[in-house]
């Protein structure tokens, strides 16, 4: 179906089904309500059960790599693993002071990456976003504004953030994002129905370097390479990047040794889109439109 804002064809929505944890929480709330109505003296137990269910939901919300709130891609599919593929994902851009140098480094090593871009930044730097696509990389949805309160939003807030991000990135690149990554990886149960309606696939990571806080390239590189294997999804940042002692964003000092290590290990960095292309999932459609000139 064509998007009314971009005219780009988007896949139909997929089916949302509550996870066991969400069903458990709903059952606890229903049982607590019935229990209090039938026997008011049970209210302390009912309240305790409700608080426990909220605690479990909160813990799941703060676990970026968790599956309790819905499907979450934290490793590549088996076919990609068999091909010795990994995914390098780069968040929070585009940043005109960092992203061009990142693209040059990726070109020099002949690898492709997935850029999870913020919608407002893409609109501010559209040509840079288009350059990412022109160089063979993928641009995916990292929300419209990258709000720190993202995990506290309700259904309407999530719908606004994701739809605005989709519209911005589709209009700029001419390609409909197929993956979404939550800011900092935090979210709540209201996100999954919105993802299903927009046919977006949630993608987190296997390991990260914490390069928005750690300015030592050696430490960041070591974190990313520890127990590295085919199928891993690695996380770095071209936006909000920490600064190394050299004064430049730490990602620029990390990429050369990281990419060299991948090559030495016989691993090939590909986009999430390419890695998942051989899987048949209703949440990872391959529909896209030609990039704008």
Active-site residues, by number, are: 91, 237
Tokens of 75: 């490793």
DSSP alpha helix (H) spans, 2-92: 20-38, 43-61, 78-82
Spatial CA neighbour of 204 closest among 97, 47, 70, 103 = 70
Token duo for residue 70 = 């819905």
> Alpha-carbon distance 43 to 277, whole Å?
52
Tokens of 224: 């990313």
Taking the C-alpha atoms of residue 199 and residue 281, their distance in angstroms, rounded to an integer, is: 11
Which of 2, 56, 70 is CA-nearest to residue 25? 56
Query: Collapsing DSSP states into helix, strand and coil, what is residue 130?
Result: helix
120: helix, coil or strand? helix
């Amino acid at each position: 179906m064509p998007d009314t804002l971009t005219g780009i064809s988007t896949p139909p929505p997929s089916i949302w089904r509550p996870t066991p944890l969400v069903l458990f929480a709903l059952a606890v709330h229903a049982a607590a309500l019935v229990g209090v109505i039938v026997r008011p003296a049970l209210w302390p137990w009912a309240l305790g059960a409700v608080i426990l269910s909220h605690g479990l939901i909160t813990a799941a919300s703060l676990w970026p790599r968790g599956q309790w709130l819905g499907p979450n891609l934290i490793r590549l599919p088996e076919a990609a693993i068999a091909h010795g593929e990994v995914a390098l994902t780069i968040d929070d851009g585009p940043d005109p002071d960092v992203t061009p140098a990142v693209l040059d480094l990726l070109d020099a090593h002949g690898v492709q990456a997935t850029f999870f871009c913020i919608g407002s930044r893409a609109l501010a730097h559209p040509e840079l976003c288009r350059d990412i696509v022109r160089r063979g990389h993928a641009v995916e949805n990292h929300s419209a504004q990258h709000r720190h309160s993202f995990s506290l939003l309700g259904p309407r807030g999530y719908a606004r953030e994701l739809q605005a991000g989709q519209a911005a990135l589709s209009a700029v690149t001419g390609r409909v994002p197929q993956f979404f990554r939550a800011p900092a990886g935090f979210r709540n149960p209201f996100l999954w129905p919105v993802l299903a309606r927009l046919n977006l696939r949630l993608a987190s990571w296997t390991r990260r370097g914490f390069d928005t806080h750690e300015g030592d390239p050696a430490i960041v590189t070591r974190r990313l390479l520890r127990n590295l294997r085919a199928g891993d999804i690695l996380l770095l940042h071209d936006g909000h990047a920490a600064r190394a002692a050299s004064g430049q964003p730490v990602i620029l000092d990390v990429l050369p040794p990281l990419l060299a290590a991948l090559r030495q290990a016989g691993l090939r960095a590909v986009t999430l889109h390419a890695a998942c292309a051989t899987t048949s999932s209703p949440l990872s459609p391959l529909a896209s439109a030609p990039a704008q000139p």
